Amino acid sequence: MAYAQLNDFLTRARNASRTDGNTFNERTSSLRALIGLLRQTPNVGAAQIAAEITRIPANKQTIYRDALDSLRTNYPGLAALTGGGRPAVSSPAPGAMLQDIASAAAARVQDRTLQARLRSAYLTRKVAQRMRDRDPGTGQYNGSFTDYAPWGVKMKFEESRTVLTVAVPIRYRAKPGDADGHAPTQLERETWAHTIRSAWNGAQFQVSASGVTRTLDVQFTVEFIDWGSSLGTDAYEVDVVNIPIERALLERGRARGIVTDAQPLQNQNWRVRAELATETLDGSSLGTPHLGQWGIHDRQAIVHEFGHAIGNPDEYDCVRFTVGTTATDCTGSAIYDQAPFTTSSVMNDTRAGTVRKRHYSLIADLYKVFYTAQNGGVTATVTVKGVPD
């Protein structure tokens, strides 16, 4: 576990203890076995940490909830085991949560071999961002910020002479507790993958190492992984909904005053329907309002959301982002701290934004890690080509 994350956990534990009127002592605390595991080098697995958390008495679970939640978010792989990785609304009752952890840990043991293979092949990072809040009615900045829960970026490289294949797993499920929740069929998943590849394939990496320069076409495969499989550990996660296109057209038509009781949708001509479909059907009306939820009919916003899955923060309203343990303040930046839909960048405008060189930055960084591991410690430089600056 990274030093900063361990410190964050310990600080929260100390604060909780102080609130409770006690002095926190690492040697005698009910958390001491857990802290011992966290301090171990090399890091122990998420399942072992999850198991140790279950041994902490229920009343201490309550006292140290903030510290434990931070651990669940930050410890690699633990968020997936405990169902974390998305905005924390409220914590479930400790009993139910521990049951979930125990069954998730048991399920993981069954495909341990496959898991071990994937762990060694995939590279992962956590990405998080802080955004300006806007008033939903006026769209005006309201003076406050929100830190969103980190999301997982996971990818695997395969290289031939001229092609670099980047495989990105995406863990999916029908959105729980939502009448529109829908488990996407294979055809729907393939349609998403096709849309994503159409938008993101086309860049090249110019790779220089040991005096030799090669050019690789960067091509994506999108691996949709069922939520129940532990293979999705650390991967980007989406809840899936099915918003029928007819309903989306109807809602948009009503919002714009074109469709009324006197002028129902079925009486509208093709011109009006086409306009509603092409000009106003943004991601949110089709069920993709943010990176953690995708609509099966959406062909626009998911291209932007995939940009998150490969490590890009939003370029609108984003004032700070963190990749792994590196935080970047971007208040007042010419790229990041912008109003939505104002620049032609896929990370600013979900409808028509351009894919740009900077959007391949984390892939290039992780590829360099991969390259060095594959080539006995030799380092490479990577220049992105084939897409605009």
**Do the Cβ atoms of 164 and 176 come closer than 8 Å?**
no
Asked if 234 is part of the footprint of Zn ion (rule: CB under 5 A), the reply reads no
Region class of 307: left (phi > 0), else alpha (psi between -120 and 50), else beta: alpha
Q: How far is the CB of 190 from Zn ion (least distance, A)?
A: 23
CB of 73 or CB of 348, closer to Zn ion: 348
CB of 314 or CB of 337, closer to Zn ion: 314
**Do the Cβ atoms of 109 and 122 come closer than 8 Å?**
no
Q: How far is the CB of 233 from Zn ion (least distance, A)?
A: 23
Q: What angle do CA 95, 6, 79 make, to 5 degrees?
A: 45
- Which parts of the chain fold into alpha helices (H)? 3-19, 32-39, 46-54, 58-63, 65-74, 78-81, 94-110, 112-121, 186-200, 245-255, 270-279, 301-309, 361-374
Asked if 314 is part of the footprint of Zn ion (rule: CB under 5 A), the reply reads yes
Cα separation, 46 vs 53, in Å, equals 10
Q: How far is the CB of 346 from Zn ion (least distance, A)?
A: 10
Token output for 245: 């296109």
Q: By Cβ distance, which residue is nearest to Zn ion?
A: 314
Q: Show the site string, 17-56: x = touches Zn ion by CB under 5 A, - = not.
A: ----------------------------------------
User: How many residues of this chain bind Zn ion (CB under 5 A)?
Assistant: 1
Show contacts with Zn ion in window 243-272 (CB under 5 A).
none
Q: How far is the CB of 305 from Zn ion (least distance, A)?
A: 6
Q: How far is the CB of 282 from Zn ion (least distance, A)?
A: 12
CB of 168 or CB of 276, closer to Zn ion: 168
CB of 24 or CB of 145, closer to Zn ion: 145
Q: Show the site string, 274-313: x = touches Zn ion by CB under 5 A, - = not.
A: ----------------------------------------
Token output for 283: 């991601």
CB of 234 or CB of 315, closer to Zn ion: 315
Show contacts with Zn ion in window 101-140 (CB under 5 A).
none
CB of 127 or CB of 276, closer to Zn ion: 127
Q: How far is the CB of 19 from Zn ion (least distance, A)?
A: 35
Residue in 156, 174, 173, 153 with CA at minimum distance from that of residue 165: 156
CA dihedral sign, ordered 217, 221, 222, 225 = negative
Token output for 198: 């159409």
CB of 17 or CB of 350, closer to Zn ion: 350
Residue in 33, 40, 31, 30 with CA at minimum distance from that of residue 9: 31
Amino acid letter, 182: H
Asked if 317 is part of the footprint of Zn ion (rule: CB under 5 A), the reply reads no
Q: How far is the CB of 298 from Zn ion (least distance, A)?
A: 13
Q: Which residues bind Zn ion (CB under 5 A)?
A: 314
